[in-house]
Structure 1
Amino acid sequence: MFRHQKELQFEVNVDRPDPQLARQIQEVLGGQFGEMTVMMQYLFQGFNCRGEEKYKDMLMDIGTEEIGHVEMLCALISQLLDGASPDDQAEAAKDPATAAILGGMNPQHLIVSGLGGLPTNSNGVPWNGSYIVASGNLLADMRSNLHAETQGRLQVARLYHMTKDEGVRKVFRKMLARDRYHQYQWMAAIDELEEKNGVIVPASFPAKDEKEAEKHGLEFWDLSEGNESSQGKWATGSAPDGAGDFVYLSDPAPQGQKPVMDIPDKTLHHDLDAPAGGVEKVVKKVADQIKRK
């Protein structure tokens, strides 16, 4: 059950309208790493959680808080749009200073939402459900949550320096503080889950089950120009789970075969002619496959 309370989590009062800033703030509302994404991500992880109750409870707590953050941003955007009208857009062309502000306004704030927030990013692209991750694996999901909060806080910090409006900055400072805590929270959950199940996801498929491929789980393949990548712990250190030491391969060679594909049936209209000896190669390939079986 969800219950709506009329008061916002934190106070929202801007110093002055700024339609251009309202458009920019849409990114942290309905963008890939905006509040709508983390809200839906945490809630769906919580709805579907089959693990310990404390994880479900935490996910529902923070997902519900994010609903409040979406509402806060909608209130912030609405205040920044106060007083805007179609006539203002026309008037903007006469005054360069006004044009600089209203000229950067998202026209959908006038046409679609009637001076309110939208479930879109700063370019008007609609929010997409494919942004969220809810895999059912707690460690995988918590790592995704840390990534989402990292990117979200980064974007709010950038917006903070794009305005001098102290009212807006006050809202951003509260969001930055909460996003900092959320990073702490996910790091604590990740640490707890790693201690319980190990650092590799999924823990239910251990390295030994990789059989002949297991050794490749410790190799760093240098596949770009230069060898600077050899200087990192990822190339010369030890695996975090104690599986062994990393091996740096400066010039790795292919270990597979060159693929040879059959000439398709002519009814597929690939316009391909069988090369010299092509039919014989195909027959031999099929014969070899039969022998191996």
Structure 2
Amino acid sequence: MFYHEDTLQYEVEVEEPDPQFAKMLQQAVGGAEGEMRVALQYMFQAFAVPREHEEYRTLLMETAVEELGHIEMLATAITKNLEGAPEEAREAAREDAVIDAMMSHGQPRQALSSGLHAMPVDSNGVPFTGNYIVASGNLAADMYANIMAESTGRLLATRLYEMTDDPGMEDMLSYMIARDTMHQNQWHAAVDSLGEHLPVPASFPQEKENQDYSYTFMSTFDEERPDPETPWTQGESPDGKGRFDYGRQPGNGFADVEAMIEEMHNEVN
């Protein structure tokens, strides 16, 4: 169950509207690194957490709802950037300054399809897809996915920060970058709290895998090369269950494809 308060999570102000920056902000809404992705990712992960691990369900759901607030902030920022046009655009096209700026620098669909408001799309106008969401049902796997999501999200926010000199947008993005810092750290803390969980899934018996290859870094070069002596070719593995070594691909067997059933009509001429 969700409740909505008709105030923004954090103040959003735009001093000089910029349709081009509104287009860039769409990536933070509906892009692969955006807030729709993490909000739904954390929500669907939470749905899968059993009641005996309520603390993780609460952690995920609280963060999911916070991310919904970030979508609202960004949508507000996009609208405010679309409400006006730069001074030079107003001088060049007094009658249709906003539309002129939109067609020249922004996302035309923001004018044509949504009436100068945010859309659930990325900066190229590509609709948001649920394929961005990772919700595996394995808590450890999901936490690692969340660390990646917050890392790329923070990277996007810092890039957007560098693309604007509007004080209001810098302030909003500074807040969002700070929250990404917190979320990265909370997911790391959650992973650490899980105890022994590597390799994921830890519940699968390792004796069932071919342990001759469990900790070997495989060189795929055609010619044989010496061990480069890196942290992933030597020393103890992070899971503490093996030691890294350096080897080559086994190179056994052939791709012997059997003939398909007659009904597939896969003739070979």
TM-score by length of 1: 0.81
Q: Give 1:270 shift.
A: 3.4
Structure 2 letter corresponding to 1:160: Y
Q: Give 1:134 shift.
A: 1.1
Give the distance between the partners of 2:3 and 2:263, measured in 1 at CA.
Answer: 62
Q: Secondary structure at the match of 1:156?
A: helix
Deviations 1:77-121 (A, max 9, x none): 00000136xxx79x56xxxxx978751210011011111111000
Q: Secondary structure at the match of 1:233?
A: coil
Deviations 1:117-146 (A, max 9, x none): 110000000000111111111111111111
Percent of aligned pairs sharing the same letter: 41
Is the CA contact (8 Å cut-off) linking 1:18 and 1:101 kept in structure 2? no
2:77 counterpart of 1:81 = no
2:65 counterpart of 1:70 = no
Give the distance between the partners of 1:225 and 1:16, measured in 2 at CA.
Answer: 57
2:13 counterpart of 1:13 = yes
Give the distance between the partners of 2:226 and 2:105, measured in 1 at CA.
Answer: 43
Q: In the alignment, what sits opposite 2:254?
A: 258
Give the distance between the partners of 2:134 and 2:259, measured in 1 at CA.
Answer: 41
Q: Give 1:45 shift.
A: 1.2
Q: How does 1:180-195 map to 2 (within 5 A)?
A: 180-193=181-194, 195=195
Is the CA contact (8 Å cut-off) linking 1:264 and 1:270 kept in structure 2? yes
Structure 1 letter corresponding to 2:255: P
Is the CA contact (8 Å cut-off) linking 1:229 and 1:235 kept in structure 2? yes
Choose 201-210 or 70-79, whichever is displaced more: 201-210
Number of aligned residues: 258
Give the distance between the partners of 2:226 and 2:29, measured in 1 at CA.
Answer: 39
Q: Give 1:176 shift.
A: 0.2
2:203 counterpart of 1:207 = no
TM-score by length of 2: 0.88
Aligned-pair RMSD on alpha carbons? 2.3
TM superposition outliers: structure 1 runs of 4+ over 3 Å = 98-102, 224-229, 262-271
Greater CA radius of gyration, 1 or 2? 1
Give the distance between the partners of 1:39 and 1:267, measured in 2 at CA.
Answer: 46
More helix by share: 1
Q: Secondary structure at the match of 2:217?
A: strand
Q: In the alignment, what sits opposite 1:220?
A: 217
User: Structure 1 pair 247/270, CA: closer, same or farther in 2 (3 Å)?
Assistant: same
2:28 counterpart of 1:31 = no
Give the distance between the partners of 2:175 and 2:5, measured in 1 at CA.
Answer: 19
5+ residue gaps, structure 1: 93-97, 274-293
